[in-house]
Amino acid sequence: MAEQLSLAAVRGALIREEDSIVFALIERARRPRNAPAYYAPDAGTDDGRSLAEFFVREAEALHAKTGHYEKPEDVPFFPQDLPSPLFPIKGYPKVLHPFASSVSVNDAIWKMYFNELLPLFTVDGDDGYYAETVALDFACLKALSRRIHYGKYVAEVKFKDAPQDYSPLIHAKGTDALMNLLTFKAVEEKVKKRVEKKARIFGQNVTLEDGVDKHEGSADDSECKVNPKVLSELYDRWVMPLTKDVEVEYLLRRLD
Amino acid sequence: MLFCSTTPLLLLQLCSGLSLDTVRDFLTREEDTIVFSLIERAKYPLNPPAYYVPAYFAGRRHDASFAELFVRESEAVQAKAGRYQSQQEIPFFPFRVPFPLAPPYNFTSELYSAAAFVNVNDEIWSVYFSLLLPLLAKNGDDGSYAATVASDLVCLQALSRRINYGRYVAEVKFRGDQQNYTTLIRNKDKDALMKLLTSEAQEDAVKRRVQKKAMVFGRNVTLDGPVETGDSNNGRASFKVDPSLVYKLYGQWVIPLTKQVELQYLLHRLD
């Protein structure tokens, strides 16, 4: 990713990440809500954490030992007390301002995912497969976090393309003005439509009877494993706004 | 089938009844999971250092690859969270966990307990790393070993779940024709059993369907016009995973290994 920092490369990465997000949600939707995975008991376990939080903390500790959180787009949900990498890490070219590694909106992503998104695309029910469920949640969280934190690269590319436009706003700490400059409604509409289309195509029931292009145009959304409208809402209400929050937060320190 | 509405639903889980239909539904749904996981792995290049033996870390030498160490540790975390309590999944590196932290759940067991252990995880491991990966991933090294191996684990788990599901397939078939199967099992007639378990027409349909899924899920979706179907000069380059590789995966490995599991399960069914 960092080797070729151009708007095309960054857009390509964002587009590829859409597929990952759609796949991850489809896989999670295979299991019902499984609410017990998210209960935080007030007594019993060590610190009253939910199974989901326990699992993500442990999984991230393992990822950290393997050097996974070195790149700016890979941001942990529980950064405190993460172990240091135990494996030799391959170096990568640093194309962002050093401040980039401290930009994180993972708290917002976590809350959004469990409180707002999960109820939208999982059915009520409990099948007891809590460990599998939280592993699938972790995959969704990782994909969403990655996509949103790519905003750091988006911001860098935009800044480099027009430093004369961004610098005065950065100096003035004009958050709203920066947000305006970063927003391209037409592009956002395209992104929403495309991710909705992907949900329709990847979430369909593929059989041998129909042609490969069956669900190109209109489709029976109720047959899709995840309602395509959920994807466009996800991107509209959370993914794109949070990405821009990352972009603004990055830019505000860009000239430090 | 599951619908994406918020009304409560009856779930087709093993605990609500094992039948040829539920078994087929499970296997069919697992195809999507397998194709997705392969597509996600193909996002990364081969990254050979992740698989070198020995692996060195924290100044020590380990007689295992980075991949194996990562899988062992991941499975340990998952086991602590309560995975592997139901019989549906079997870890690659069995790990004894005294106190799973997950809320307890009463899983009904549909399998005959003396035969439930049957699995071919060793073969799956070896096929995946030695045979499948070199065909799946492009040459190269981008240094993202942790993400790469995490995606390997997802593939391995999906393949393991699908293939070891042969135990449930065998159980349903046994229940459906108990007398016949019992005779063959008592005679340890492997050939006759394998014949009973094999339906070439069905296997052909499975291979073609999973190949089609690789085409549908692995295509490059854009907003402009009809999407390439792969029969133009673009051919396979436009798919994230080569559909014919997925066809081969099922034909040469997934289906035969599943039948091995079915056979072994049956041979223990009267223990």
Cβ neighbour number for residue B255 with a 10 Å cutoff = 21
Residue B179: phi, psi to the nearest 5?
-60, -50
CATH architecture of the domain covering B9-267 = Orthogonal Bundle (1.10)
Chain A touched by B232 (CB under 8 Å) = no
Residues in contact with A88: Cβ distance below 8 Å, sequence separation at least 6, in sequence order: A67, B56, B57
The pLDDT of residue A214 is 53
Q: What is the pLDDT of residues A188-226, one digit of tens each?
A: 999 999 999 999 999 999 999 876 555 444 457 778 999
**Alpha-carbon gap: B165 to the closest alpha carbon of chain A (Å):** 16
**Alpha-carbon gap: A141 to the closest alpha carbon of chain B (Å):** 14
CA separation for the pair B101, A69 (Å, rounded): 26
Cβ neighbour number for residue B150 with a 10 Å cutoff = 24
The pLDDT of residue B269 is 96
pTM of structure = 0.92
Interface of B with A in 138-197 (CB under 8 A): 141-147, 149-150, 154
**Alpha-carbon gap: A193 to the closest alpha carbon of chain B (Å):** 8
To the nearest whole number, what is the mean pLDDT of chain A?
91
With CB atoms and an 8 Å threshold, state whether A123 touches B4: yes
The CA R_g of chain A, rounded to the nearest whole Å, is: 20
B85: its two tokens: 């309590």
Interface of B with A in 234-263 (CB under 8 A): 240
Chain B residues in contact with A87 by the CB 8 A cut-off are: 55, 57, 66, 145
Cβ neighbour number for residue A181 with a 10 Å cutoff = 17
Q: What is the pLDDT of residues B63-112, one digit of tens each?
A: 999 999 999 999 999 999 999 988 899 999 987 765 677 777 888 889 99
CA separation for the pair B207, B201 (Å, rounded): 10
- Amino acid letter, residue B250: Y
Chain A residues in contact with B219 by the CB 8 A cut-off are: 201
Chain A touched by B112 (CB under 8 Å) = no
Cβ neighbour number for residue B133 with a 10 Å cutoff = 19
Q: What is the pLDDT of residues A53-87, one digit of tens each?
A: 999 999 999 999 998 998 999 999 999 989 998 87
* Contact by Cβ (8 Å): A162, A60: no
Classify burial at A253, counting beta carbons within 10 Å of its beta carbon; exposed 0-12, middle 13-18, buried 19 or more. middle
* Contact by Cβ (8 Å): A194, A235: no
Q: Where are the domains of chain A?
A: 2-252
- Amino acid letter, residue B52: Y
Least confident of A43-52, A68-77, A246-255, B201-210: A43-52
The answer on pLDDT for B184 being more than 90 is yes
- In sequence order, what are the beta bridge partners of B62? B55
Cα four-point dihedral sign A88, A89, A90, A91? negative
Residues in contact with A76: Cβ distance below 8 Å, sequence separation at least 6, in sequence order: A60, A63, A64, A69, A82, A106
The pLDDT of residue B13 is 38
* Contact by Cβ (8 Å): B128, B156: yes
Chain B touched by A19 (CB under 8 Å) = yes
Q: Where are the domains of chain B?
A: 9-267
Closest of B199, B147, B149 to residue B169, by C-alpha: B199
The answer on pLDDT for A11 being more than 60 is yes
The pLDDT of residue A126 is 96
Chain A residues in contact with B36 by the CB 8 A cut-off are: 23, 26-27, 202
Chain B touched by A224 (CB under 8 Å) = yes
For the domain spanning A2-252, the CATH number is 1.10.590.10
- In sequence order, what are the beta bridge partners of B57? B60
